[in-house]
Amino acid sequence: MPEYRIPSDDRVRASLARVFSTRHAVNSQRQLKRLVEKDLKGEEDFRVGEPRLRQIAIDSGRLDLEIHCRETGERRSLVRCPVCGERLRRVRNMTVFGGTVTLGYRCARCTYWTGLRKRVPTRYVFTRRQ
């Protein structure tokens, strides 16, 4: 059975800084995971889960996240952001009758947004902030 360790947040942050010191962008979350694990590999193997890596990347404030989505036919109200877990805000519009209607949801922390037909993230592009 292969043995591996889980790196601390600090270690992952430091690794992300090294990875992006030599490149401007990484085109998928899976590729970012491979690069970070390769960077961390020394005498021990490290593994970092993709959702956790994404959270640390968002929190670092040094990377921009481009979220590619696919629209589903699903109409369901959303509470949490599927990208970062933040509580979503409703995007509303006034109706001619003076009420409001929900048009969709957006996240104030990352750039995720969706209309009433749910958009599901399929790919992430990470770019170094200038």
Query: In the complex, what is the shortest distance from the CB of residue 26 to Zn ion, in angstroms, rounded to a whole number?
Result: 19
Largest CA distance in the chain: 67
* Binding residues for Zn ion (CB under 5 A): 81, 83-84, 86, 107, 109-110, 112
DSSP single-letter state for residue 82: T
Nearer to Zn ion, 16 or 110 (CB): 110
DSSP single-letter state for residue 79: -
Query: In the complex, what is the shortest distance from the CB of residue 78 to Zn ion, in angstroms, rounded to a whole number?
Result: 11
Query: In the complex, what is the shortest distance from the CB of residue 96 to Zn ion, in angstroms, rounded to a whole number?
Result: 32
Nearer to Zn ion, 112 or 124 (CB): 112
Distances (CA, A) of 104 to 11, 68, 84, 91: 37, 17, 17, 5
